């Protein structure tokens, strides 16, 4: 998959309609990733589902989505934008992941990203990504059912990221996305209760950037497939840090809330200026550069 620039939209932020994905393309993203879609429609959790903390957002939205049969309309429309379209999929079994992935690719997705890392919905997401045998089965079944690249999005909420990354690649993952949100909670002192209706959610934004970079750095030394860095990127310096750790592309989510879709153009411009200033010809020359002896 070739990208005009190394920036991509992260799943779950403005990714539920072709119209909002179009705004992200106008903002300069090199690829777009949809909100995670499942086999059946899901309402998600009741409010509050997102809480702003001093260092980032905690969300437990509960994977609201219209289901793949309805979502194919958006895929067909978003396919007309001139950037690769990656559909994020989830399921409650390996068969479900494979079915949703096939429908997404049949509708025109250029790749699928497996959400095996959502930290707040039972029996899917990170409950799959934290279990090596189940994860391998999901990746194998999806690979067998689609002829397009399969990205596996990893959870940081595991003891050993490297083990999980190796399981995913041995099962056939074409690329790894690292990371999804970090399990977190916020409690209101006045009510003395957790703020989110689901109580526990996932932290995103600048607070998780050093964790995400550590994950990319660790994985890079053990896998050969491309790694897409994600977590707390707000400017070009953050993006370059991820690339130096080993990422070939990066995803941006939470920062869009403060900076708007033009964050993609600003980050790309900054990366290009950095490469020029340092005498590099392409991003590939700096992927994993911080690992040299």
Ligand X SMILES: Cc1cc2nc3c(=O)[nH]c(=O)nc-3n(C[C@H](O)[C@H](O)[C@H](O)COP(=O)(O)O)c2cc1C
Active site residues: 118
- Count the residues of the shown chain that bind ligand X, applying the rule CB under 6 A: 28
Choice between 49 and 292, CB closer to ligand X: 49
Among 27, 229, 232, 288, binds ligand X (CB under 6 A): 232
Choice between 194 and 231, CB closer to ligand X: 231
Among 20, 130, 254, 268, binds ligand X (CB under 6 A): 254
| φ, ψ dihedrals at 79, nearest 5° | -65, -20
Alpha-helix residue ranges (DSSP H) falling in the chain:
18-26, 68-78, 94-106, 126-129, 132-145, 161-170, 209-220, 236-245, 255-259, 263-278
Name the residue number minimizing CB distance to ligand X. Answer: 12
Among 5, 20, 36, 169, binds ligand X (CB under 6 A): 36
Asked if residues 105 and 112 have their Cβ atoms less than 8 Å apart, the reply is yes
Torsion of CA 117, 263, 207, 271, to 10 degrees: 100
Q: Hey, which residues between 79 and 118 contact ligand X (CB under 6 A)?
A: 88, 115, 118
Burial class (CB in 10 A: 0-12, 13-18, 19+), 43: exposed
Least distance between ligand X and beta carbon 34 (Å):
8
Q: How far apart are CA 206 and CA 28, in angstroms?
A: 21
Among 135, 252, 263, 283, binds ligand X (CB under 6 A): 252
Least distance between ligand X and beta carbon 251 (Å):
7
Q: Hey, which residues between 185 and 224 contact ligand X (CB under 6 A)?
A: 204-205, 208
Least distance between ligand X and beta carbon 260 (Å):
14
253 contributes a contact to ligand X by CB under 6 A: yes
72 contributes a contact to ligand X by CB under 6 A: no
Neighbour count for residue 85 (Cβ, 10 Å): 24
**Tokens 């790894």 sit at which residue?**
176
Asked if residues 285 and 292 have their Cβ atoms less than 8 Å apart, the reply is no
246 contributes a contact to ligand X by CB under 6 A: no
Helices and strands, number each (H, E), in the chain: 10, 14
Residue 179: asked if its preceding bond is cis (omega within 30°), the reply is: yes
130 contributes a contact to ligand X by CB under 6 A: no
| Residue 193: C-alpha distances to residues 121, 188, 199, 202 (Å) | 20, 6, 8, 17
7 contributes a contact to ligand X by CB under 6 A: no
Choice between 34 and 292, CB closer to ligand X: 34
154 contributes a contact to ligand X by CB under 6 A: no
Kindly indicate which of the ranges 164-172, 214-222, 250-258, 277-285 contains the residues binding ligand X, using the contact rule CB under 6 A.
250-258
Binding site for ligand X (CB under 6 A): 10-13, 35-36, 50, 57, 59, 61, 63, 88, 115, 118, 153, 180-181, 204-205, 208, 230-233, 252-255
């Amino acid at each position: 998959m070739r990208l005009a620039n190394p920036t991509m939209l992260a799943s779950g932020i403005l990714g539920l309609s072709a119209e909002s994905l179009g705004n992200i393309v106008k903002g300069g993203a090199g690829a777009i990733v949809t909100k995670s879609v499942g086999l059946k429609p899901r309402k998600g959790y009741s409010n509050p589902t997102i809480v702003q903390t001093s260092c980032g957002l905690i969300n437990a939205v509960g994977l609201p989505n219209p289901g793949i049969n309805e979502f194919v309309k958006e895929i067909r429309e978003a396919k007309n934008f001139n950037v690769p379209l990656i559909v994020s999929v989830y399921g409650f079994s390996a068969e479900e992941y494979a079915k949703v992935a096939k429908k997404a690719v049949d509708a025109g997705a250029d790749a699928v990203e497996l959400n095996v890392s959502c930290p707040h919905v039972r029996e899917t997401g990170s409950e799959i990504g934290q279990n090596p045998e189940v994860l391998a089965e999901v990746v194998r079944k999806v690979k067998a059912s689609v002829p397009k690249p399969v990205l596996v999005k990893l959870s940081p909420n595991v003891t050993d990221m490297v083990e999980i990354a190796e399981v995913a690649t041995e099962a056939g993952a074409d690329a790894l996305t690292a990371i999804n949100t970090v399990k977190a909670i916020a409690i209101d002192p006045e009510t003395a209760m957790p703020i989110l209706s689901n109580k526990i959610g996932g932290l995103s934004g600048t607070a998780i950037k050093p964790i995400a970079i550590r994950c990319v750095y660790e994985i890079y030394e053990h896998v050969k497939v491309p790694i897409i860095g994600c977590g707390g990127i707000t400017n070009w310096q953050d993006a370059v840090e991820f690339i130096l750790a080993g990422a070939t592309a990066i995803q941006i989510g939470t920062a869009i809330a403060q900076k708007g879709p033009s964050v993609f153009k600003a980050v790309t411009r900054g990366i290009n200026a950095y490469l020029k200033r340092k005498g590099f010809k392409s991003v590939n020359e700096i992927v994993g550069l911080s690992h040299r002896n």
